[in-house]
Amino acid sequence: MPVNNIPLHAPLFPPSLEYGSDDAEGISLLVEADESAVRELLKPTPFEFVSAHAWIEVIVLRSAFGVQPFAGGGVIIPARYRGTVGGYYAFCYVDTDDALALGREPFGYPKKIGPAGLQRTGRATTAFMKGRTWAVEVSVVISDEPVSQPAVPRYPHLLLQAFPSAETPEVLLKRVIARDTAAASRMSASTGEGALTIPDMPGNELAWLVGSKPIYASYARGAFRGALGRVLGTEVLGSELLRELEPGQRRPAARIAM
């Protein structure tokens, strides 16, 4: 396993970007959220509002290849980008540094590092993610009767991949990537009654979820696989890149449509 994250030579993540686990389990909770809060989250992004919902997910890779076993997840907002409807990954948390690098640099997940975990006891499964500025707990109690999943978009994940400039405070590159790990994985899910708790802590960036109503919950176990992404569009090209594209021509940062 590499010990540093020097790009290309010895990255924290496998250069092939292939990783996964045959012993993965997770919780997915869909809630009705405050519409104004959802719209506010989308405001600084190129994504369009779809519905006042949020998916909260926590997944644990008990064993893994390509990375160390890790736990993590986040909050996904239904959204649209041009002709693609999916889930904007607005908050993302993991508990190892290589899992953080693997998702953030190649794909644009807004990952932060902190404790996360999941435990199953009989029919009940509980999970948590916690850090300096976030805390969330979710649970599901499996029921005998399966529940149909509401038609609220979650995949593909819609991601904002952004790189800063080295010469100026501007953005070097910002583009939108779609990524669908569900299509690459083989997880068996059971549904049940879900619950959400947002612990009271100063500065919790997930406080906007307080009062959200759980409407669907599931517990899944099986083989998780990573997936490559697909670039849907480029939002910003910074002057450093433009200078390389047009030698000798210094130009201000520009927005382009593709």
Tally the C-alpha atoms within 13 A of residue 53's C-alpha that lie toward its C-beta.
19
pLDDT score at 143: 95
Gap between the Cα atoms of 189 and 187, Å rounded? 6
Alpha helices (H) in 209-254, listed in sequence order: 239-245
- Dist CA 99 CA 72 (whole Å): 9
The torsion of the CA quartet 166, 168, 169, 174, rounded to 10 degrees, works out to -60
Residue 58 is predicted with a pLDDT of 98
**Nearest residue to 19 via CA among 252, 233, 258, 224:** 224
The predicted pLDDT at position 6 comes to 58
pLDDT value for 3: 46
Write down the pLDDT at residue 5: 55
Chosen CATH of 20-158+177-227 out of 3.30.565.10, 1.10.10.10, 3.30.300.30, 2.40.400.10: 2.40.400.10
The structural domains of the chain, with segments of one domain joined by +, span: 20-158+177-227
Cα distance between residue 123 and residue 142, in whole Å: 5
CB 155 within 8 A of CB 220: no
pLDDT at 255: 58
- Secondary element (H or E) of residue 23: strand 20-32
> What is the structure's pLDDT at 8?
52
Q: What local confidence, expressed as pLDDT, does residue 2 receive?
A: 45
How many CA within 13 A on the CB side of residue 70? 23
pLDDT of residue 257: 43
Q: What is the mean pLDDT of each run of 10 residues along the chain (258 residues)?
A: 52 83 98 98 97 98 95 98 97 94 91 97 97 97 94 97 90 96 96 97 97 98 97 93 71 52
Contact predicate 84/69, CB 8 Å: no
